[in-house]
């Protein structure tokens, strides 16, 4: 579903939003990488997993499920797939399951089979319309809530998030990632408008007029693009090998941007090598 891809993009590019949502310290994002894992036996995929970067730590792994449509079979599928994952991979870490709903009316509990199970402390259900005003003070939660906000309220909320990001985020790369995510959500909510209209509506183009951004468009653009892509690759696959890092660092900025667009479709380092082989002109 399109909503699933929006949340996948949010958690991949701004993982602290997830830890804000579940009430953990935002610094926990440094201990995790977000990925999807295939359970090969039956060829299904767990699309949202926060896995500790240190397998020997006591930190839990998090399975994240985003459900925006009523589904009578959700818990039948979710629990059966997850426990098959545990059987196949036998992770050393404890686990937590987080299911995110826009509201309670979407959930189909199936209480006869799963009522007691859903009360386990290792399972958390989050209803976005019940978060409260205090929770929205966190940038990440505010961005997540923007997905479910009405079109009328989305306009002022996006502007407010933009201003908060300008004031609170000091890392210019993270700031640009955050603003890009806001734009992606708004594109999702207003599919009839083009990007120029959206930037004008939400005043998101202002960042592109800053000195830092203009410098990035000059001689530093390729370096900044490579830095961002490598950061995302390291989150997705773990630390990328030195040979791949060097190869990506030599790419012209246009190809680095193409690689950034392709990230969500790459499932392993093997896929990354294949993409580089087929789509780059290094050594040709």
Q: What's the domain count of the chain?
A: 3
Residue 263 within a domain? yes
Residue 209 CA to residue 33 CA, distance in Å, equals 32
Beta-sheet strand order (sheet of 95-101): 32-39, 44-52, 61-66, 95-101, 123-127
DSSP secondary structure, 112-169, as one string: HHHTTGGGSTTEEEEEGGGS-TTGGGSHHHHHHHHHHS-HHHHHHHHHHHHHHHHHH-
21/74 same-domain check? yes
Chain length of the chain: 284
Among 90, 105, 134, the domain boundary falls at 134
34/120 same-domain check? yes
By residue range, what is the domain housing residue 233?
Answer: 219-279
Residue 127 CA to residue 107 CA, distance in Å, equals 9
DSSP character for 66?
E
Residue 144 within a domain? no
49/130 same-domain check? yes
Among 102, 134, 166, the domain boundary falls at 134
In degrees to the nearest 10, what's the CA dihedral of 39, 267, 98, 11?
180
Residue 143 within a domain? no
Copy the structure tokens of residue 189.
């909510």
Find the CATH number of the domain harbouring 109: 3.40.1350
β-pairing, 95-101 with 123-127? parallel
Residue 224 within a domain? yes
Copy the structure tokens of residue 55.
């397998």
Give the CA distances from residue 267 to residues 21, 40, 118, 236, 238, in Å, rounded to whole numbers and listed in that order.
Answer: 26, 13, 31, 8, 12
13/63 same-domain check? yes
DSSP character for 62?
E
Residues in contact with 199: Cβ distance below 8 Å, sequence separation at least 6, in sequence order: 183, 205
Per-residue pLDDT of the chain (284 residues; tens, 9 = 90+): 345 678 888 888 899 999 999 999 888 899 998 887 765 554 456 668 899 988 788 999 999 999 988 999 999 999 998 998 898 889 999 999 999 999 999 999 999 999 999 999 999 999 999 988 888 889 999 999 998 888 888 888 888 898 898 889 988 888 888 888 887 788 778 777 766 666 666 555 554 444 444 444 444 567 777 877 887 787 777 777 888 888 888 888 778 878 877 776 777 788 888 888 888 654 43
223/210 same-domain check? no
Residue 122 within a domain? yes
Residue 284 within a domain? no
65/155 same-domain check? no
121/6 same-domain check? yes
Residue 227 CA to residue 100 CA, distance in Å, equals 31
């Amino acid at each position: 579903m399109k909503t699933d891809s929006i949340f996948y993009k949010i958690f991949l590019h701004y993982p602290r939003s997830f830890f804000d949502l579940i009430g953990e310290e935002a610094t926990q994002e440094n201990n995790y990488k977000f990925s999807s894992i295939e359970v090969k036996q039956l060829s299904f995929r767990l699309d949202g997993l926060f896995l500790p970067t240190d397998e020997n730590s006591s930190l839990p792994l998090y399975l994240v499920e985003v459900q925006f449509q009523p589904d009578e079979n959700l818990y039948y599928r979710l629990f059966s797939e997850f426990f098959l994952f545990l059987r196949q991979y036998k992770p050393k870490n404890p686990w937590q399951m987080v299911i995110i709903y826009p509201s309670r009316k979407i959930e189909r509990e199936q209480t006869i089979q799963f009522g007691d199970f859903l009360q386990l402390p290792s399972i958390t259900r989050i209803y976005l319309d019940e978060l409260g005003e205090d929770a929205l003070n966190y940038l990440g939660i505010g961005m997540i809530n923007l997905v479910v906000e009405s079109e009328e309220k989305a306009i002022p909320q996006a502007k407010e998030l933009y201003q908060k990001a300008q004031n609170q985020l000091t890392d210019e790369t993270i700031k640009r990632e955050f603003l890009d995510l806001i734009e992606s959500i708004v594109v999702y909510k207003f599919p009839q408008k083009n990007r120029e209209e959206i930037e004008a509506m939400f005043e998101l183009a202002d960042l592109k007029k800053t000195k830092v951004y203009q410098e990035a468009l000059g001689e530093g653009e390729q370096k900044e693009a490579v830095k961002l892509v490598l950061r995302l690759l390291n989150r997705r696959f773990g630390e990328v090998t030195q040979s791949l890092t060097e190869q990506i660092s030599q790419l012209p900025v246009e190809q680095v941007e193409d690689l950034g667009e392709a990230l969500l479709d790459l499932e392993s380092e093997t896929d990354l090598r294949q993409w580089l082989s087929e789509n780059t002109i290094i050594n040709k």
